[in-house]
Amino acid sequence: MFRFHIPINAQSRARVPAPHILGLRDPQGIADPARCGFSPFALQYPHTLFRMMHLAFACVLIITTLFMPSTRTKLRRKIKAASRTVRGVGKILGALASTDHPLLAHIIPMRRCNLACKYCNEFDDVSKPVALEIMFERLDKLAELKTSVITISGGEPLLHPELDDIIRRIRGNGMVAGMITNGYLLMPDRIRRLNDAGLEWLQISIDNVSPDDVSKKSLKVLDKKLQMLAEHADFHVNINSVVGGGVCNPQDALTIGKRALELGFSSTIGIIHDGQGQLQPLADEERRVYHEMKALEKRSFTRINSFQDNIALGQPNQWRCRAGARYLYICEDGLVHYCSQQRGYPAIPLEQYSVADIRREYLTEKSCAPHCTVSCVHQVSVVDGWRDPQRPAIQSQASELVHIE
């Protein structure tokens, strides 16, 4: 129970307006209860009345402050953000201490997608969702390998009917739960269910302001979904805009990025790869937009993506790709691949994947690395970029790198 003590001293009493100042006396100077609307008791004890009014005002102020939805939401989000930061620092420290476990795994519970973006080679329109029991087995195996972060991807993961249970299993195993979605299926109730399941971050890539023949992931279509996220999501939201790869209006990336910041999200920019995840240099206008977006990005969200500077110029990157070790891509069939754009090796069933496989791939050069644009692999590999030089892959292994249409 709250107790309020509002001291009333001589000085404070002196500040209480006299009845004649309040217009509570008649022209002859006699207090008139009819004028003031108070009882004669109130006129006889003005200081008591003032104290009661002060107390009532304090109660209203405190109730408003504590129980306004916006205040509660902001406080809850700040607490969750602080918790994510603490967990993230712990994961990074663990990564520095040992190289024998994955930092990030992309897992596919649903290859089917409700869209058909022309540049995308990661979907179909026929696949059924992976059974929940199988997903649980794969997540438990990733936990056994001490994976730090799981990103649920697709296809479109929101099409999976038991997605919330998948997220809960990730969190129950102590791993960070993230998701990449096109956002079309988000509604307030769906967002609240993601909150309840324990989702920690979500990314939507928006390709243009208005839908065109290349992509329907447009700001015009998705802006209402972004507003829903701003109102209801307790998880971190990042909006990624893109240049290159057939995007008709590079300026759209700036419009999308600024809108993301307006709504309180972080904003990043990516360079769309070709059909095999490889480099395609940007035109002059695309490079200008790219650098302007990078300036916005620095003010809003720290992202490890300096590798894209070379890509924008059409130049290769010299780096140590740790795919197959620090980063795993698990397809809907449960096979481990280097990444979404190089499916076919090592193609070992996840249940058979071991620390020995991780150690081998950690030290193996990838022939596709110099012109790679797959940002998640670059970002994860930065952690170990300063140590443990790699050796060339054996010829048979390198030749098995394939792109699955």
Residues 377 and 289 in one domain: yes
* pTM for this entry: 0.78
Give the pLDDT of residue 242: 84
Cβ proximity of 151 and 107 under 8 Å: yes
Residues 191 and 226 in one domain: yes
In total, how many domains does the chain have? 2
Residues 195 and 89 in one domain: yes
Residues 304 and 375 in one domain: yes
Summarised one tens digit per residue, pLDDT across range 368-396 is 999 888 888 999 999 999 999 999 987 55
**Cα separation, 319 vs 301, whole angstroms:** 23
28-42, 171-185, 237-251 — which is least confidently predicted?
A: 28-42
Residues 122 and 61 in one domain: no
Residues 192 and 229 in one domain: yes
Residues 52 and 113 in one domain: no
Mean pLDDT over 55-74 rounds to 62
Give the pLDDT of residue 40: 53
Residue 390 in domain: no
Handedness of CA 142, 147, 151, 154 (dihedral sign): negative
Percent of the chain with pLDDT strictly greater than 70: 76
Summarised one tens digit per residue, pLDDT across range 170-224 is 999 999 999 999 999 999 999 999 999 999 999 999 999 999 888 899 999 999 9
**pLDDT, the chain, mean:** 82
Contacts 24+ apart (CB under 8 A), 63-72: none
Q: In angstroms, how far is CA 94 from the centroid of its own chain?
A: 22
Residue 4 in domain: no
Mean pLDDT over 60-84 rounds to 71
**Cα separation, 226 vs 232, whole angstroms:** 10
Tell me the Ramachandran region of residue 277: left when phi exceeds 0, alpha when psi lies from -120 to 50, beta otherwise: left
Residues 125 and 15 in one domain: no
Give the pLDDT of residue 234: 95
Is 78 a residue whose pLDDT tops 90? no
**Cα separation, 102 vs 153, whole angstroms:** 17
The boundaries of the domain holding residue 180 are 75-384
Residue 132 in domain: yes
Give the amino acid at 322: R
In which band, very low, low, confident or very high, does the pLDDT at 258 lie, cut at 50, 70 and 90? Answer: very high
Give the pLDDT of residue 117: 87
Residues 63 and 79 in one domain: no
Summarised one tens digit per residue, pLDDT across range 312-343 is 777 889 999 999 999 999 999 999 999 998 88
Residue 403 in domain: no
Residue 327 in domain: yes
Mean pLDDT over 56-62 rounds to 62
Residue 402 in domain: no
37-69 as b/e: b if 16+ CB within 10 A: ebeeebbeebeebbbeeeeeeeeeeeeeeeeee
Residues 103 and 41 in one domain: no
E strand intervals along 233-273: 236-243, 266-271
Residue 131 in domain: yes
Which stretch of DSSP H or E encloses residue 26? none
Percent of the chain with pLDDT strictly greater than 90: 53
Cβ proximity of 336 and 302 under 8 Å: no
Summarised one tens digit per residue, pLDDT across range 91-141 is 889 999 999 999 999 999 999 999 998 888 899 999 999 999 999 999 999
Pairing of strands 335-339, 327-330: antiparallel
Residues 272 and 375 in one domain: yes
**CATH assignment of the domain containing 187:** 3.20.20.70
Residues 188 and 242 in one domain: yes
Burial class of residue 336, CB neighbours in 10 A (0-12, 13-18, 19+): buried
Give the pLDDT of residue 11: 46
Residue 202 in domain: yes
